[in-house]
Structure 1
Amino acid sequence: MIINAVIIDDEVNNVDNLSILLQQYCKQVHVVAKGFNAQQGKDIILQYKPDLVFLDVQMPGEDGFELLKSLPDLYFEIIFVTAYDQYGIQAIKFSAIDYLLKPIKIHDLQDAVNKVVIKNSQKKQNLQLENLVKLLQQNEPPRIAISTTKETRFIKPDNIIFCESSNNYTTFHLNNSETIISSRPIYEYESLLGPYGFIRCHQSYIINKNHVKSWVKEDGGYLLMEDNSQIPVSRNKKENLRDLLR
């Protein structure tokens, strides 16, 4: 399995060193582009759509965390590479698959890349399951596959009230008060659920517009769902959400 990667670091020597280590010890990783500041990093991520990003935290101007916040979706895996060890908690918030300290140790780098290989393999299996669901949908009402740590559940979209993100996991809240915790991040479900009337109203929430009871304008504004859950609405999504709910 080939993993297309980009390296973003403001020091040329660090970029070259990491490239050499990957070439020698992680041959499944193919470096498709390199960036030396946050803007270059954003440009190459949007252009090459990599599977993996090696990202330095401290860079002139915007740092690595600010770069990630500026992207519309974090669909790729992230390995932070930094000379400082105080950023671990922030790295977790961005669901980083690993956190490497400079100078990079070869076995740490190999362990981090192996985690990416395993996760990408799981994504491939999930895609196969989605293809199976499409076949099932030819003769039955549409269903989606929700992968948990123990099983794969096949659920009708109409039964889902909303989805809630928690790092690399997604919790599905159903209309029978049941919750299902998926081992996949929420952004992977956004395009899958879109055709069934689901809307991304917040970084951490996707809602089924057919289960919206009201849009409450007080207390900063939130969506009241049929199960009485209160779902926040991001400021930058309000206008689009208003149009989609009409």
Structure 2
Amino acid sequence: MSIKTLLIDDEQHNLDNLRALLAAYCPQVDVCATARNAETAKSLLYLHHPDLLFLDIQMPGQSGFDLLSSLHNSNVGVIFVTAYDQYAIQALRFAAVDYLLKPVNIDELQAAVERAYRQHRLKEQHQLLQNLVHLVQAGHHQEEQRIALATAKETRFVKTSVIIRCESSNNYTTFYLAGGETLLVCKPIYAYDDLLTDYGFIRCHQSHLVNKKFIKSWKKEFGDFLLLTDGAELPISRGKKEDLKKALRL
């Protein structure tokens, strides 16, 4: 599992150097984008929902601290990378994962990334536990079960009975709800597969998880598809056919 990372520094050669070091020495890091100012970085944060920032402090316009102060309820990890050591105490107030001085030392970089990776795994485990707690607290009636879905702006507690389907796109999952609302969650679909199986959800394709009660028909012309009550058509992969037939008692 990789940790999605955004690099922010006002000097391009620093970005290029850090990206090269991460590629060579930190394989668990996946650099999704780079930014040279706080304004661009903020847009990229909402676009990519990274797990980790490598953040320069002194930049033209808004500083790295200004950027973090403008983020509300952000759960992203931060490793400060700066040429100056007088900001260390202030960095601690932002609960930074680490504080690296330029030029970056490879051993210190690897240690910082490993700490960030461990923290990321703990956050994921906490989210799964939170989901389990809410499912248990909701009672024994499946239609009242709820799941916690963390979007960029909030954590929504959604009844599993109103989730029509889940669709995967790389490390993101879109939840389609009855009524037409959609929620984009920065987690891969497999994180919800086992969690939702007990509540009537089945996998018809590696990219699709569907609530059985919203299946209208199995279409067999021009390939196999599931037609849902909201009009969506989901492909049925060859490897999922037999499991799907068993789940639908066909």
State the TM-score, normalizing by the size of structure 1.
0.56
Q: Partners in 1 of 2:87 and 2:158 — Cα distance? A: 35
Give the distance between the partners of 1:138 and 1:49, measured in 2 at CA: 29
Whether 1:139 aligns to 2:145 is no
Residues 138 and 23 of structure 1, relative CA distance in 2, 3 Å threshold: same
Aligned residues: 152
- Higher alpha-carbon deviation: 24-33 or 130-139: 130-139
Counterpart of 1:4 in structure 2 is 4
Whether 2:194 is the aligned partner of 1:191: answer no
**Map of 1:66 onto structure 2:** 66
Deviation at 1:59, TM superposition (A): 0.6
Q: Distance in 2 between matches of 1:138 and 1:59?
A: 48
SS of corresponding position for 1:67:
helix
> How far did 1:106 drift?
0.5
SS at match of 1:59: coil
Within the alignment, does 1:128 sit opposite 2:124 as a pair?
Answer: no
User: Residues 4-83 of structure 1: matches in 2 within 5 Å?
Assistant: 4-83=4-83
For each residue in 1:27-75, what CA deviation from the matched residue of structure 2 results, as whole angstroms up to 9, or x when unmatched?
1101111100111111111211100000000011111111111222321
Letter in 2 for 1:3: I
Q: What amino acid does structure 2 have at the position aligned with 1:104?
A: V
Identical columns (%): 48
3-state SS of paired residue (1:4): strand
Partner of 2:100, secondary structure, is strand
Q: Unpaired segments of 5 or more residues in structure 1? A: 143-187, 196-246
Unaligned 5+ segments in structure 2 are 145-151, 160-250
CA distance in 2, matches of 1:73, 1:116: 18
Equivalent AA in structure 1 for residue 19 of structure 2: S
Q: Deviations over 1:177-211 (max 9, x none)?
A: xxxxxxxxxxx9x737899xxxxxxxxxxxxxxxx
CA spacing shift, 1:118–1:60, aligned 2, 3 Å:
same
- Which amino acid letter does the alignment assign opposite residue 48 of structure 1? H
- Equivalent residue for 1:87? 87
Question: Does 1:102 pair with 2:66?
Answer: no
Deviations 1:62-104 (A, max 9, x none): 1111111122232100000000000011111111110000000
Letter in 1 for 2:155: S
Q: SS state of the match for residue 43, structure 1? A: helix
Deviations 1:140-165 (A, max 9, x none): 7x9xxxxxxxxxxxxxxxxxxxxxxx
CA distance in 2, matches of 1:74, 1:96: 13
The CA distance in 1 between the partners of 2:39 and 2:136, in whole Å, is 44
Shift of 1:124: 2.1
- Partner of residue 209, structure 1: none
Matched residue of 1:33: which SS?
A: strand
SS in 1 for 2:155: helix
Q: Which amino acid aligns with 2:121?
A: S
